[in-house]
Amino acid sequence: MSLKEQTAWRYERKYVVLGYRPAEIEILLRQLPFAWRKAHAPRWLHNIYFDSIDWHCYRANLAGSSRRYKYRLRFYGPWQNAWQPARLELKQKTGELGRKQIWELSKLDVNSPKMQLAALLEHAPHKGYAWAPKVYNCYYRQYYSALNGRLRLTLDSQQAAAAIWPSSYWQPKGKKAMDGLIIELKYGPEEANLAEELAQQIPFRLSKNSKYIQAVQQCYRL
């Protein structure tokens, strides 16, 4: 398996929105500068997050480490169809900038995920930890862009999370719904001035929200 893609470094501003419906946020987007348009058909996203036995990635995030990373298996669509294809993502953060490395997996055999994912993790740059699946989350994502894709927004709703136990064969059991919508504004360093102009018009408070952290705290007592 070879590295398929490495995204450019970018910023992500996140807003946690309570008490609104997605349709109300769409009305708000039409009132923002730069003429936002739908960039992709909405779809379900599913993620299985990996961490070490002692929760290295989780604790580094809580400690505010300037350099941190996490691994996740991501797949799209309804759950019963979501396993093919899939992709392993390494999400890296340096300060406020982030990027992803992506490995494609054209087929994931749901009946032997340990064999498939063990092969994937052999390619992981971070070899010093015994990686294991820890938590699953899902949400419904809508995509928007402006200025020919120089600024992008996503709107996530219907979030849910579940712990993953070894005996479950990585099938999430007992999903728990999570409150609120998540708006993410994404842009490259060269668009920082435009993003700042836009952010002043977004009537919600900026958040340090991490879907991984929120899912872990929903499902575990650490």
Specify the CATH number for the domain of residue 163.
Answer: 3.20.100.30
The model's pLDDT over 164-194, given as tens digits with 9 standing for 90+, comes to 876 555 666 788 999 999 999 999 999 999 9
Site of tokens 């960039």: 39
Over the range 35-63, which residues count as b (16 or more CB within 10 Å of their CB) and which as e? ebeeeeeeebbbbbbbbbeeebbbebbee
pLDDT, tens only, 10-32: 999 999 999 999 999 999 999 99
What's the rounded Cα separation, in Å, for the pair 140 and 60? 27
Q: In angstroms, rounded to a whole number, what is the distance separating the alpha carbons of residues 78 and 45? A: 9
Give the pairing type, strands 151-163 and 176-177: antiparallel
Assign 139 a pLDDT band (cuts: 50, 70, 90).
very high
**Total number of domains in the chain:** 1
Tell if the pTM clears 0.85, that is, is over it.
yes
C-alpha span between 148 and 196 (Å, rounded):
18
Question: In this predicted structure, what is the pLDDT of residue 192?
Answer: 97
* Residue-number span of the structural domain to which 112 is assigned: 3-219
- Helix/strand/coil for 193: helix
The letter for the amino acid at 158 is Q
- Measured CA to CA, the distance from residue 82 to residue 86 in angstroms comes to 8
Instruction: Compute the distance between CA of residue 28 and CA of residue 67 in angstroms, rounded to an integer.
Output: 34
**Mean pLDDT, rounded, of the chain:** 87
Cβ atoms within 10 A of the Cβ of 117, count? Answer: 22
